[in-house]
């Protein structure tokens, strides 16, 4: 069985770190254990379910029934194993009529983070770089700076999540991952801090990938394992915690690499094994709109849960709040 840190624990952990209260602090929960997170970005993915699908670029939040069903299935499996899934939601989803399925997931304890309203590029410095939707319909953002549009996009998601599900966002994940996270964008980090986020998940370390459709050779697999070192949580100079995404993601494997499922399972198994061996963090990133298409039998999630179970207490399924809380204490 596994347990998880609550939002409250996190706030306590972060405030303790913030005031430098070192003496008398209890060991963080799960001390000495690997923290294995399973995260799902609730958005539609270009090239899925059909390779020619590109219209999702303009309506990332318009989740289809298959993606919702898959997200619910993943959550059910992880919960049965004693853990929770960390979900990230694109706010436009809340324009749909029925969000009861997501309310149920929140009630079951799965935290829901903010992934912006339109899946915007938080690094954009020009309006046309913010999102496909605004390139086609520039009047939606006319007269506003990228900063204003991006901050508003994050705020709207919080408002929609509160209004339709009744919960506050559990953290923020940037659409797209960046090899250096937000290291060279203190301005973006400041927006997030000002919006009240103690941590961000924005870094996806660089790693080699195969040519499309080619089975990964040992060289690529070991490079993916080596990239785990760069996917460990840390604190930026301004105090914001980074919880990176751990390679390889479903999009990296199935869109960029056009891999077969078995190749992905091998890469994920090896990466999780590294994290357990080092008692480190692993932040598995998938999209129900992509993984649900290539792995309808939930083999990847079952594999991760199985590896954690076999680790004999050396690992727990954790959410990103727990990973961030531990990084805040270091």
- Give the residue with the Cβ less far from Zn ion, 43 or 250: 43
Q: Is 32 left (phi over 0), alpha (psi -120 to 50) or beta?
A: left
Smallest distance from the beta carbon of 185 to Zn ion, in angstroms? 18
38, 68, 180, 293 from 74: Cα distances, Å: 9, 10, 29, 13
Spatial distance between the Cα atoms of 58 and 124, rounded to a whole number of angstroms: 17
Residue list 42-101, contact with Zn ion (CB under 5 A): 43
Region binding Zn ion by CB under 5 A among candidate stretches 26-34, 169-177, 190-198, 249-257: 169-177
Spatial distance between the Cα atoms of 199 and 252, rounded to a whole number of angstroms: 24
Does 118 bind Zn ion (CB under 5 A)? Our answer is: no
Encoded one letter per residue, x for contact with Zn ion by CB under 5 A and - for no contact, window 289-318 reads ------------------------------
Smallest distance from the beta carbon of 43 to Zn ion, in angstroms? 5
Encoded one letter per residue, x for contact with Zn ion by CB under 5 A and - for no contact, window 21-50 reads --------------------x-x-------
Smallest distance from the beta carbon of 297 to Zn ion, in angstroms? 24
- Give the residue with the Cβ less far from Zn ion, 201 or 300: 201
Burial status of residue 48 (CB atoms within 10 A of its CB: 0-12, 13-18, 19 or more): buried
Burial status of residue 46 (CB atoms within 10 A of its CB: 0-12, 13-18, 19 or more): middle
Smallest distance from the beta carbon of 184 to Zn ion, in angstroms? 21
- Give the residue with the Cβ less far from Zn ion, 41 or 319: 41
Task: Say how many residues make up the chain.
Answer: 330
Q: How far is CA 39 from the centre of its chain?
A: 5
What residues does 37 pair with on adjacent strands?
283
Question: Which backbone phi and psi does 114 adopt, to 5 degrees?
Answer: -95, 130
Question: How many residues sit in the footprint of Zn ion (CB under 5 A)?
Answer: 3
Does 175 bind Zn ion (CB under 5 A)? Our answer is: yes
Does 198 bind Zn ion (CB under 5 A)? Our answer is: no
Smallest distance from the beta carbon of 46 to Zn ion, in angstroms? 11
Region binding Zn ion by CB under 5 A among candidate stretches 170-178, 208-216, 244-252, 262-270: 170-178
Burial status of residue 106 (CB atoms within 10 A of its CB: 0-12, 13-18, 19 or more): middle
Q: List the one residue out of 60, 215, 204, 192 whose CA is nearest residue 132.
A: 60
Smallest distance from the beta carbon of 285 to Zn ion, in angstroms? 9
What one-character-per-residue DSSP string does 196-209 give?
T-SEEEEE------
- Give the residue with the Cβ less far from Zn ion, 210 or 289: 289
Smallest distance from the beta carbon of 88 to Zn ion, in angstroms? 7
- Give the residue with the Cβ less far from Zn ion, 174 or 228: 174
Q: Which residues bind Zn ion (CB under 5 A)?
A: 41, 43, 175
């Amino acid at each position: 069985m596994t347990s998880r840190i609550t939002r409250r624990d996190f706030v306590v952990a972060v405030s303790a770190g913030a005031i430098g209260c070192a003496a008398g602090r209890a060991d963080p929960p799960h001390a000495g254990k690997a923290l294995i997170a399973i995260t799902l970005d609730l958005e539609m993915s270009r090239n899925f379910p059909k390779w020619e699908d590109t219209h999702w670029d303009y309506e990332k939040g318009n989740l289809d029934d298959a993606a919702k069903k898959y997200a619910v299935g993943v959550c059910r499996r992880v919960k049965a194993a004693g853990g929770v899934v960390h979900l990230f939601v694109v706010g436009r989803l809340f324009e749909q009529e029925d969000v009861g399925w997501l309310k149920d997931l929140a009630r079951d304890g799965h935290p829901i983070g903010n992934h912006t309203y339109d899946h915007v590029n938080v690094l954009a410095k020009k309006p046309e770089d913010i999102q496909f939707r605004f390139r086609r319909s520039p009047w939606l953002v006319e007269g506003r700076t990228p900063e204003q549009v991006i901050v508003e996009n994050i705020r709207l998601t919080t408002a929609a999540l509160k209004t339709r599900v009744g919960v506050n966002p559990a953290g923020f994940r940037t659409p797209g991952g960046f090899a250096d996270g937000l290291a060279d964008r203190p301005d973006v980090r400041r927006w997030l801090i000002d919006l009240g986020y103690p941590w961000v998940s924005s870094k996806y370390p660089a790693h080699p990938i195969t040519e499309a459709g080619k089975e990964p050779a040992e060289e690529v697999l070991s490079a993916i394992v080596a990239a785990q070192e760069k996917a460990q949580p840390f604190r930026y100079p301004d105090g914001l915690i980074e919880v990176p995404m751990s390679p390889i993601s479903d999009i990296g494997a199935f869109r960029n690499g056009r891999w077969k499922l078995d190749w992905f399972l091998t890469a994920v198994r090896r990466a999780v094994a590294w994290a357990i061996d080092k008692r480190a963090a692993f932040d598995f990133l998938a999209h129900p709109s992509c993984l649900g298409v290539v792995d309808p039998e939930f083999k990847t999630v079952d594999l991760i849960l199985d590896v954690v179970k076999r680790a004999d207490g050396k690992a727990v399924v954790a959410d990103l709040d727990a990973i961030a809380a531990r990084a805040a204490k270091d």
